[in-house]
Amino acid sequence: MLDAFGQPQSIVVLGGTSDIAGAVVDRLCARRCRTVVLAGRDAERLAESAARAEEAGAERVAQVVVDATDVPGAAASVERCFAAAGDVGAGGDGNVDVVLVAVGVLSGREDELDAAHAARVAAVTYAWPVAAITRAAALLAEQGYGRIVVLSSVAGVRVRRANFVYGSAKAGLDAFARGLGDALQGTGVSVQVVRPGFVRTKMTEGMPAAPFATTADAVADVVVAGLGTPASVLWAPPVLRAVFAVLSRLPAAIWRRLPG
């Protein structure tokens, strides 16, 4: 339940080892968020993220191991996360204020002609999040309020030759999340899409930075500030809104020649 100052007191993070998610949790815990549920594939890294959340001020931190390639199991994974957040016997209040979706895997040139690689990118970056968000939305609607924050990417605004497998998956997720937000009008549940540009994280380590590159901390600042607004789409950094208003109008012949 939101506190008297409108700050979330509980968050479920799908993609709990994400650098951006960790930075968001740091900030929310500093603002009185006390229950944190972290879901991810790597139990060891989840434990590190849990310790970070506790250090930031979380009073209850639960870890849920999930497999984002198991699309049919996504709904059950979300139910486990909500159950962990609402464990009244362990100090939970039975409600989830925010669901942060930070699940995805980058693609490379090897994904273009490798069916297994491409399928994994599509499953982890699009199909599993869609299934998980759908179940989270239903659970939040049952309690009558909540917000789902979906980490999309500018890669999905206009898909580039350099990473079209990943970009197409993010494009689908972005469109799904915005459509879901429209469908949830009147339920007390809202959806916010965050479109970061190139973010310097462990996922992009070793890659050349794109123009307007940013950091996990800077994206987290945008996310946390956005929680206090009704905005359906957030850009990180905000200047990318104007940049992509121009880039989206470039002729295809020019767009496909832009460097990756």
Per-residue pLDDT of 111-128, as tens digits, reads 678 899 999 999 999 999
pLDDT of amino acid 214: 80
Tens digits of residue pLDDT in 197-238: 878 666 665 566 666 678 899 999 999 999 999 999 999 999
Which candidate in 166, 176, 198, 235 is catalytic?
166
Residue 79: pLDDT band with limits 50, 70, 90: very high
C-alpha to C-alpha distance for 161 and 47, rounded to whole angstroms: 37
pLDDT of amino acid 247: 80
Tens digits of residue pLDDT in 84-107: 998 644 555 568 999 999 999 887
Mean pLDDT of 172-192: 97
Query: Which residues have CB under 8 Å from 87's CB, separation 6+?
Result: 62
Helix (H, G, I), strand (E, B) or coil at 255: helix
Note if the bond before 208 is cis, omega within 30 degrees. no
Indicate the angle between helix axes 19-30 and 216-226, nearest 10 degrees.
Answer: 50
- 166 classed as catalytic: yes
Residue 253: pLDDT band with limits 50, 70, 90: confident
Query: Average per-residue pLDDT in the chain?
Result: 88
Q: Would you say the pTM of this structure is higher than 0.75?
A: yes
pLDDT of amino acid 88: 44
pLDDT of amino acid 58: 95
C-alpha to C-alpha distance for 79 and 142, rounded to whole angstroms: 13
pLDDT of amino acid 206: 59
Q: Which domains does the chain have, with CATH numbers?
A: 10-255 (3.40.50.720)
Environment class of 257 (CB within 10 Å of its CB; exposed 0-12, middle 13-18, buried 19+) = exposed
pLDDT above 90 covers a percentage of the chain that reads 68
